[in-house]
Amino acid sequence: MYRICKTIELESGHLLSKHPGSCAFPHGHTRSVELVFAAETLDENDMVLDFKAIKEMMGTFLEQFDHSLCMNTEDPHYEEFRHIYGDRIIPFDRQDPTSEAMAHTVFRYAQEALTRASQGIGTAYPVRDCVRLERVRVWETSSSWAEYGE
C-alpha cells in the first residue's frame, strides 16, 4: 500500500462550552491538519495522486477555519458571536468543536471532495477512483492530536 500525506497549517480558535476548565473560554491553536491518502498502485506519473490535486480538492474549505472561531451552536453566546463576527464563526451543530470533531468534519469533506475529483470535478489534476482517504489527523498542539478514519 502506498500512502501520501498533505499537511495544512492554520491558526484556529475555538471554545468548548462543555469543558469544565479554561478551555470553555475562547482560545486559539496553531493547528496542523494531515490528510492521508492511499492506493495499492501508482498512477502513470508514479504517484498516489498529485499533492496539487489535494490542495484543489480542499479548496477554500480549510481556509475558512484560519483565523476563525469554532463554536457549538448550542453555546449560549453562539448567536451573539455569529452576529458580531459573521462567517468568522464556524458552527459545529450541537457539539463542541474539539479536535476530534474537527478531524471528523474535515474527513467527511475530504471524502466527498475525493469522490468529486475522481469524477473529474473540482481539480485539473487526474484522481483515480482507486485512491482512498485513509485518515485525517488534527494536531491541536505540538504534542496533542486527534484522528478520524474509517
Place of cell 470553555: 24
| pLDDT score at 122 | 86
Domains of the chain: 2-149 (3.30.479.10)
The pTM assigned to this predicted structure is 0.95
Mean pLDDT of all residues in 53-80:
95
**97-141 pLDDT, tens per residue?**
999 999 999 999 999 999 999 999 988 999 999 999 999 999 999
With a CB cutoff of 8 Å and minimum separation 6, the contacts of 131 are 37, 38, 39, 48, 49, 114, 118
